[in-house]
Structure 1
């Protein structure tokens, strides 16, 4: 992500187009909050924007307009937030076996598909990326949650990022 803008030559909006459609919002900051579990609704995400804007302008008073939708800045702001006790709750996490990727990207948004006695993890385009051998821990309602395939460690895992109320 650090060289995305320089490599593509596109403004940050080009980066956000897919995420805006996925999260049903016109605001990249709200899409970020929803994707990171910092907000459960678009309204909650909008309410966090003032905190982000204060943090950003205090860190760098003379900003270009693109800074307000720069995903790298969003991540820096998220890292600066105090950890809450609710973040200590265990997240649903499943061991996975890579099938359709080598894991080079390190992190993939995935959707569960229950098949026989396994869960097939597909990307939003429908390509199979991994399999979890046993589906007994995943209910049929799991399709309403958002998951991420993490391949950064020796053992790939899938963790729930967002669970609707």
Structure 2
């Protein structure tokens, strides 16, 4: 495959990338439609739905070749379902990866090995610093073997492993940046670990959730995390990368407590948590509910990081889709303000519900709250981020 890619012209490579991007959009649409309809659509039913989607698209209004492009859009969507990805489960899993199909298939192949490696972190809470770093380093290495998440080249005198070590465990780092290099190292960390690696990790977690609940869309919550089969350290790993620490409790303190401003201070305070926690099972020591409760009890100023204004607990809405045959009645949604109204979209961009903008609504609620649509009872509930 790699040799074939090298022999392709620039125009051919560009065409393949363009088609893969179109397939990604179409697969998302097909999976969302099938979940809403709760059935495997016939080719004619699929064509009808794809035509409606096209007619609501910007391309429909902007294109000078609307009819030809619409036919291409519909024919490719039908081919994806009936010829290329015939299995409903495969379509859904590719959709869960949030990747174009070619990259998504690579991740699906690697997923079983990645999950096995992630599960090894159950004892992370009692590991040494070296064991913790090696665990994260190995996961970064395996995930970055995929082309979509491949790490960019660092400078000749330092490897990505050494940069990661400096970021997560500076006291034991054998190589450290000179003052003139710090900005470049931070940029490398942001692009490769904060963006590429965390994106890939999110895709792996999405596959684990899909696997745990048999493809059913369920509300993502701390209470059902254990059902994914992943240890709690996987839940915290993105935060470790963002805050530059190997300690999940320290990462949470840095994120939530105003007076905690350095990693050293956060890591020292985190030791108090480990001394007080009663859990004998190492994995449960990193249970996010335990950490959250301890921080709220121990630090009075943690509330300053909560929004001063609050959304209504429940917002009544009018549905824009028929959910009577949908396997799940609960859908994660995001608010989009349109004049005096709010349209509630699912994560693939489909409008599911609409309501008038609540009194004292703030646009920033999108950044501070999770929203769930209860289609059966026709309301959107809100819950603050952990």
Provide the residue aligned with 1:113 in structure 2. 336
The CA deviation at 1:129 is: 6.5
What is the alpha-carbon distance in structure 1 between the residues aligned to residue 294 and residue 228 of structure 2? 24
Structure 2: state its 5+ residue gaps: 1-221, 322-327
What is the alpha-carbon distance in structure 2 between the residues aligned to residue 85 and residue 57 of structure 1? 21
| Pairing of 1:50-129 with structure 2 (within 5 A) | 50-60=268-278, 64=282, 66-67=283-284, 69-81=286-298, 83-84=300-301, 90-94=308-312, 95-97=314-316, 99=319, 102-103=329-330, 111-122=334-345, 126=349
Q: Which has the higher contact order (CA 8 A, sep 6+)?
A: 1
Provide the residue aligned with 2:356 in structure 1. 133
Structure 1: state its 5+ residue gaps: none
Question: Higher helix share goes to which structure?
Answer: 2
How far does the alpha carbon of each residue in 1:83-120 deviate from its partner, in whole angstroms, 9 at most, with x for none?
4596698423245235587459xxx6x64321232123
CA 1:156/1:78 → structure 2, altered by over 3 Å: closer, same or farther? Answer: farther
CA 1:135/1:75 → structure 2, altered by over 3 Å: closer, same or farther? Answer: closer
Aligned length: 147
Larger radius of gyration: 2
What is the alpha-carbon distance in structure 2 between the residues aligned to residue 49 and residue 40 of structure 1? 15
What is the alpha-carbon distance in structure 2 between the residues aligned to residue 135 and residue 92 of structure 1? 11
The CA deviation at 1:147 is: 1.9
What is the alpha-carbon distance in structure 2 between the residues aligned to residue 123 and residue 73 of structure 1? 30
How far does the alpha carbon of each residue in 1:27-85 deviate from its partner, in whole angstroms, 9 at most, with x for none?
54425864xxx2469x7484444333302213349773x45533132133134336459
Residue from 218, 231, 239 that aligns with 1:11: 231
Query: Could you say what the CA RMSD is over the residues aligned between the two structures, in angstroms?
Result: 4.9
Q: What TM-score results when the alignment is normalised by the length of structure 2?
A: 0.28
Is the 1:55–1:77 Cα contact (8 Å) retained in structure 2?
Answer: yes
